[in-house]
A and B are shown apart, each in its own frame.
Chain A
């Protein structure tokens, strides 16, 4: 229910007031967890695919090994590029890290939780996408431009679905403050099965597939430049910059999976910043995101990549579902 305008304080079941130290500790734990856990999720998805193909496949920690090796290589800069190409990897990682730090992943009380708005997280993700798109255009190559064009077109269609799905959740909880939405869902377990949540979940899954560049939107392991969307923007990066971009993308994937897990199934998240609760929250988060990663990988195995000009139809479907979620929420209020 939307609270009366005159009410003061947080609308939902209270987000506990926590000191600065513990909340910063919770944030740091989240960043470290996603920094290492994101690549592990990517490795897990690759492992599931390999097993489905009947082979052993690379170990789950392979992406971390790749990043470690890339740090020892030299940096190569394209001749006609500007400072944008050099700065973009740092912007991708920094925006992903800040989004992870303020979102309620392990605990509902990370640092800055008063200002941890869902739209802030969405905009930080957009910041990373824009930085990468500009970096694709900077060297002046054909593939970079192609990647940027496709990524921005798909982003332009995924953003509306994301915003409206987020709005559906915000209307139900009465606020768009992320920790408050999670706390409210914990306090009202029946919300999880409500029709607007389920519709918003489907819409968000479509958006997450588009934002993380998985099949059916994009093939993350393709070698054919004409089929690339995300890969084409990073063709110019070498060594440490490539490591940063890979890490940043893995952190975005970890963040999106964790948000889907915690917004729709928040049990297990720590509501205070005590050490045992945090560790439990971390373990539960790992289990939930691993389950989501396996589910996404199974979906990828079963589906073929969509032709580029059919992707907007998928995203439009997601948008319609998100609008339906909002309408359902308003009607059943």
Chain B
């Protein structure tokens, strides 16, 4: 039944892709969206069945792919990722109906979006190296082509696509080499065979294989320092694609690490997981800081994705480290916290990206310094963005708080481990988590307060109109889990338990009670968000009632107080750049902002200045200091190699002859 549902979902997705590519312009977007929505619903039902019953579904066929065949296995871990992708996909499909402007209406875009969604559903179910790599590459290619949809209008889209193409293919190559190493000599390229043969490989091979897979998957998940494609690619893609990339595609990087490290290699060495934890801590801090310093709305959200995936990596690393040192219950708790945060992140980040896309559609602006006052013009979008922003800042009673609490608890109790290396790494993880909390809140107060509140800072923002109902429906669909999983996180615990067990392989019955709140049985710690919500609402109601009774005088509307100034225009408001300036100044050594001051003197004297021009920007410091030199080296090597190409046929024939001689000598 599960297999039928899952294959049906894949088929519907392909049908949607076909519909998008062949139907006439007026119908293609709607038909593609309808078919991919149905695919998502069917996939969700199938994944739900696997998660609730605990039974995996398998399918294999040797005809679809030549030489290797297709091998699919949907176990609870993969089903969790499929279910998450399905929800985000449903919202994105619904949203794309209203969003489709000129760019998404073309045949290629309308055909590629359902195909991208199908590959996202396929990757977690792949059960052999070939299936996995084919699905992974298809996912990369379709997202790359979707990224290029608007390249005619914006040069940044082309540049973003170049970075994305290079990094994702290097990552895919690393994963391929790593998986091939793990297959070893004995053959059997299905995941089951790899897991069975893992013990026979030498530790060095296992470590090398894991490290290569880690590099590729961490790059996909946006781990610092392999993240530089993310802040370029996610903003430039059309918004439904951005939501899918941030809400579903980056998750698959985590999936790869868990699948290979915990499932296939059976836990592995301690130092692997300490490296993962370190990557997570660095990503969390750097992502949160860069988000706090960003003034482009979608770039801010992209850095925030890096931050949250860093937190998930901290959880995954802690789980692996604790399992490697023998604390299996605590490891299960950490893994559960990481998976819960991953699911929550997909919900609120998807909602945030769709809302940012709605703003871009309504105003044409992504720059926070030119937005403002949207709360009056786009009330629904503002409310849904606000909900997402409050969730991501980990405020009760939303879902971000529940998963961050669980993560902190798992790290807190993880300090019981006797291994000093683990304890030091956990300390780093805790410090990074603490630092990101406040920085994320600052970043999203900036995004919400400057972008949506206040007065409009540009004519486009002042004349915006609320977006189409299908777009609002898409955002609202993702807002529901933000509230539901926040108020009653216990509802998701049974499902997450199954997924954790399937991932870590340890069964840890009853380490969390299945009420509405969260209760760590055996460890002292619990939260009851339902009661908290009830208390907050009653306190709000009481305060409002008291004010109504006691304060008898009415209300009056007046101009905002600006020290008696004559005109209070939007030029006097704080901008996003000024809002972020104190934090930027404090962390100037980390961010290294770029300042340029140009002074033009009067011809007659150097002491009198005619004009001054100042420009400052915060670009990605890792890209500037690590990647550009490497790119420069590669270019230099390329120009050196070009000297060997002088166009003479005789020289090329001589090269071929020399190569042949060398091969014959080596073979002999």
Contacts and interface: CB of A to CB of B under 8 A. Distances in A.
The answer to whether A binds B is yes
Interface of A: 2-3, 5-8, 10-12, 71-84, 90-91, 93-95, 97-98, 101-102, 112, 114-115, 117, 119-120, 123-124, 126-127, 129-130, 133-134, 136-146, 148-150, 152-153, 155-161, 163-164, 167, 170-171, 174-177, 180, 225, 235-236, 239-240, 244, 308-309, 312, 323, 326-327, 330
A309 B585 contact: yes
A109 to B, nearest CB: 15
Contacts of B554: 74-75
A74 B524 contact: no
Contacts of B662: none
Contact of A127 (B396, B449, B531, B578): B396
A98 B393 CA distance: 19
Contacts of A81: 560
B551 interface: yes
Contact of A71 (B433, B442, B517, B551): B551
Contact of B446 (A112, A152, A167, A326): A152
B525 interface: yes
B539 A133 contact: no
Nearest to B400: A123
Interface stretch (B43-51, B260-268, B405-413): B405-413
Interface stretch (B294-302, B348-356, B542-550): B542-550
A145 B578 contact: yes
Nearest to A15: B524
Nearest to A241: B547
Contacts of A161: 434
Contacts of A102: 535
B133 interface: no
B556 A171 contact: no
Given A82-B453, A94-B540, A167 B412 contact: yes
Given A82-B376, A112-B531, A74 B555 contact: yes
A140 B373 CA distance: 9
Contacts of A150: 582
Is the interface on chain B under 10, 10 to 19, 20 to 34, or 35 or more residues?
35 or more
Given A95-B536, A112-B531, A145-B578, A174 B524 contact: yes
Which of A97, A98, A112 is packed against the most chain B CB atoms within 10 Å?
A98
A94 B539 contact: yes
Given A76-B555, A140-B455, A90 B524 contact: no
A235 B561 contact: yes
A159 to B, nearest CB: 3
A6 B522 contact: yes
Given A5-B522, A8-B522, A175-B523, A115 B528 contact: yes
A91 B540 contact: yes
B568 interface: yes
Which of B524, B543, B556, B559 is packed against the most chain A CB atoms within 10 Å?
B524
Which of A7, A80, A130 is packed against the most chain B CB atoms within 10 Å?
A80
Interface of B is mostly: helix
Contacts, number: 268
A72 B522 CA distance: 53
B546 to A, nearest CB: 9
A72 B554 CA distance: 10
9 contacts: A77-B555, A79-B558, A97-B539, A117-B527, A140-B455, A149-B582, A153-B442, A176-B408, A330-B427
A190 B393 CA distance: 37
A5 B521 CA distance: 9
Contacts of A12: 524
Contact of A76 (B412, B438, B558): B558
Contact of A175 (B376, B442, B525, B557): B525
A204 B434 CA distance: 14
B393 to A, nearest CB: 7
B448 A120 contact: no
Contacts of A6: 329, 522
Given A98-B539, A159-B434, 19 more contacts: A2-B413, A2-B416, A12-B524, A80-B454, A93-B543, A97-B539, A112-B532, A134-B448, A137-B453, A141-B560, A142-B574, A144-B574, A148-B449, A149-B574, A150-B582, A156-B583, A160-B434, A164-B431, A171-B412
B543 A94 contact: yes
Contact of B560 (A98, A112, A236): A236
B550 A240 contact: yes
B435 interface: yes
Nearest to B439: A156
Contacts of B517: 115
Contacts of B570: 140
B377 to A, nearest CB: 11
Interface in B416-464: 416, 423, 427, 430-431, 433-435, 437-439, 441-442, 445-446, 448-450, 453-455
B330 interface: yes
A5 B185 CA distance: 42
A148 B536 contact: no
A164 B434 contact: yes
Contacts of B145: none
B292 interface: yes
Interface string B565-580: 0001010111000111
Given A72-B553, A156-B441, A160-B438, A120 B527 contact: yes
Given A149-B581, A171-B415, A157 B573 contact: no
- The list of the 8 closest CB pairs from A to B, nearest first, reads A145-B574, A137-B449, A159-B438, A175-B524, A156-B438, A140-B454, A115-B528, A94-B539
B201 interface: no
A141 B563 CA distance: 10
Given A137-B450, A149-B574, A153-B586, A80 B555 contact: no
A117 B402 CA distance: 12
Contacts of A83: 375
Contacts of A95: 536, 539
Contacts of A143: 562-563
Interface in B483-504: none
Nearest to A308: B582
B394 interface: yes
A303 B521 CA distance: 48
B414 to A, nearest CB: 10
Contact of A141 (B292, B390, B561): B561
A112 B434 contact: no
Given A72-B553, A142-B573, A117 B539 contact: no
Nearest to A146: B574
Contacts of A115: 517, 526-528, 531-532
Which of A7, A12, A144 is packed against the most chain B CB atoms within 10 Å?
A144
B573 A180 contact: no
Nearest to B414: A2
